[in-house]
Amino acid sequence: MVGPFGGITAATLLRAVIDDPRRIGEPLSITVNYAGPIADGPFTIDAIPARTNRSTQHWTLTLTQHDAIATTATVVTGLRRPTWSDTEIAPPAAPPADEVPITPLPEYPAWMRNYEMRFVEGGEILSATPQPHTTSTTTLWVRDTPARPLDHTALTALSDVFFPRIMLRLGRFVAASTVSLTTYFHTDLSPTSDRPILATARAQHFGNGYFDQSAQLWSEDGKPLATSHQLVYFKD
């Protein structure tokens, strides 16, 4: 409500690290703290490799506009090596993407038109007469539009693709804005495709003007791509 879609801001910050020739390894995590609104116009990103170890590299970033810091972030990159692995979470139950109709999206907010969304659960907030819900869970198949192969920047933006959970619970639009977002990447995304991914999110607690959100992003064949957590401000 005070700046651009938070996912694209996070993706832009990650891209600054990915494009830096000093980077080693692939993105492992990103944390973004939205300190203030970003206006239309130029901005500057300073990316500093604060420490490089044998397997990991730690970055600090600031996004500055009009001589003020609007966003801060940290990124961890690293070298992935074959090890024992297991997944303790499971994707939510959902029909195949091709069996779920594409949801018509509103003109506002504009960022939603950058995505093809197929809601399995929790899309009622977009209906003409939304109603309050007893749960904040949303599950959908989603991909960029126009479709393109998934990479870490696209996955970063997709980790924030959910409208605020408070809106689903109350059944109406309210002022809300992400304060802090962390995304963990669980794959190197190579090779990948432009097929929809399965995304699900829910809140744990609402109160005193803030709520949290946890999200999971899955490939079509049930592999975990990323998990994310965020803190959101709302004004009711």
pLDDT band at 191 (very low <50, low <70, confident <90, very high): low
Task: Say whether pLDDT at 68 is over 90.
Answer: yes
Residue 190 identity: S
Strand 44-52 and strand 56-65: the pairing is: antiparallel
Residues in the chain: 236
Task: Say whether pLDDT at 2 is over 80.
Answer: no
Task: Say whether pLDDT at 4 is over 80.
Answer: no
Helix (H, G, I), strand (E, B) or coil at 58: strand
Q: Please, what sign has the CA dihedral across residues 148, 9, 159, 102?
A: negative
User: For residue 73, which of 32, 12, 19 has the smallest C-alpha distance?
Assistant: 32
- Distance between CA atoms of residues 136 and 119, nearest Å: 14
Task: Compute the mean pLDDT over every residue in the chain, rounded to the nearest whole number.
Answer: 94
Lowest mean pLDDT among 72-76, 114-118, 149-153, 192-196: 192-196
Predicted local confidence at residue 108, as pLDDT: 74
- Distance between CA atoms of residues 150 and 7, nearest Å: 15
Domains of the chain in start order, with CATH, are 1-80 (3.10.129.10), 93-235 (2.40.160.210)
- Distance between CA atoms of residues 40 and 112, nearest Å: 18
For residue 163, the Cα-to-chain-centroid distance in whole angstroms is 11
Q: Tens of pLDDT along 6-47?
A: 999 999 999 999 999 999 999 999 999 999 989 999 999 999
> Is 203 within 8 Å of 136 (Cβ atoms)?
yes
Q: Tens of pLDDT along 110-167?
A: 888 899 999 999 988 888 788 999 999 999 999 999 999 999 999 999 999 998 999 9
Task: Say whether pLDDT at 1 is over 80.
Answer: no
Predicted local confidence at residue 165, as pLDDT: 95
In this prediction, residues 56-78 reach a mean pLDDT of: 97
Predicted local confidence at residue 176, as pLDDT: 93
Identify whether 130 is preceded by a cis peptide bond (ω within 30 of 0). Answer: no
